[in-house]
């Protein structure tokens, strides 16, 4: 593994090329719901920069919502292209809703965004690593303050990805599927939109690249003494890449 990093009890795979990026977190820790917003921003940004959608998600969502309103009023001419956009927007929204609920309801120590034809032959991965001091703890009680802090962190994270990781990314990728995995405490029932996975098989294809986003205060070996208390969950929704122009209506 690049940079002399070692595998830990929670690593699912060993990619051929790994870029480690440390993300400093300023001020008090964020609540789980705010971390969920940061994770959602990361998911949609990765989909865009890796050409799994041809426009920012907010633009696609706005176009789809207008089209659905037109259809409800009976004034729309249906097209296969718009149907694909609607299907894609629904897949993304399902994943974002599940991620938001996941972070709001329990501690999340890692979130893996895996892109490829399958988990057993992926091309790229992005790992969001949170330590015990960041995974669900919070000293922020004001919702507006938490929202501002999460927006600031999202912008900083995206700037780091652009400045530190552009040279690490592979050539433009073909249309792929995007899978989400989350390492959480083993407690209660499965979070909505996720299913527990006791024997995950995640394998990179030759030349696969991985970016590990290690948020401040995170130790690579963090938590390895508590492996029996944590479990991987996989999102029940998979995002299929969307190609083709996005037209405003």
100-144 pLDDT, tens digit each = 999 988 888 999 999 999 999 999 999 998 876 565 555 555 778
Q: For residue 102, how many other CB atoms are within 10 A of its CB? A: 26
Domain residue extents for the chain: 13-240
pTM: 0.86
Tell me what pLDDT residue 249 has: 47
Low-confidence stretches of the chain (pLDDT beneath 70):
1-10, 26-29, 132-141, 217-228, 245-249
CB 174 within 8 A of CB 183: no
CB 233 within 8 A of CB 195: yes
Q: Among the residues of 77-214, which ranges form H helices?
A: 80-105, 143-165
Q: What is the CATH number of domain 13-240?
A: 3.30.900.20
25-52 pLDDT, tens digit each = 765 567 888 889 999 999 999 999 998 9
Of 71, 1, 10, the closest CA to residue 218 belongs to 10
CB 240 within 8 A of CB 91: yes
Tell me what pLDDT residue 34 has: 86
Structure tokens at 202: 């995640």
């Amino acid at each position: 593994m690049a940079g002399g990093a070692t595998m830990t009890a929670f690593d699912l795979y060993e990619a051929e090329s790994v870029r480690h990026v440390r993300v400093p977190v300023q001020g008090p820790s964020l609540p789980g719901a705010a971390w969920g917003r940061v994770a959602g921003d990361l998911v949609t940004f990765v989909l865009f920069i890796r050409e799994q959608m041809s426009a920012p998600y907010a633009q696609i969502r706005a176009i789809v919502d207008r089209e659905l309103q037109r259809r409800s009023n009976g004034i729309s001419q249906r097209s296969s292209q718009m149907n694909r956009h609607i299907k894609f927007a629904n897949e993304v929204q399902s994943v974002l809703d599940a991620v938001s609920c996941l972070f709001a309801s329990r501690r999340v120590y890692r979130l893996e965004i895996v892109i490829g034809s399958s988990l057993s032959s992926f091309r790229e991965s992005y790992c969001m690593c949170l330590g015990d001091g960041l995974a669900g703890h919070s000293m922020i009680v004001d919702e507006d303050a938490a929202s501002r802090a999460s927006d600031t962190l999202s912008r900083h994270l995206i700037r780091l990805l652009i400045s530190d990781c552009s040279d690490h990314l592979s050539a433009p990728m073909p249309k792929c599927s995007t899978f989400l995995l989350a390492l959480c405490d083993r407690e209660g029932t499965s979070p909505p939109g996720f299913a527990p996975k006791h024997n995950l098989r995640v394998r990179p294809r030759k030349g696969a690249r991985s970016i590990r986003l290690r948020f401040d205060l995170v130790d690579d070996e963090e938590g390895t003494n508590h492996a029996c208390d944590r479990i991987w969950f996989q999102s029940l929704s998979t995002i299929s890449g969307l190609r083709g122009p996005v037209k405003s209506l």
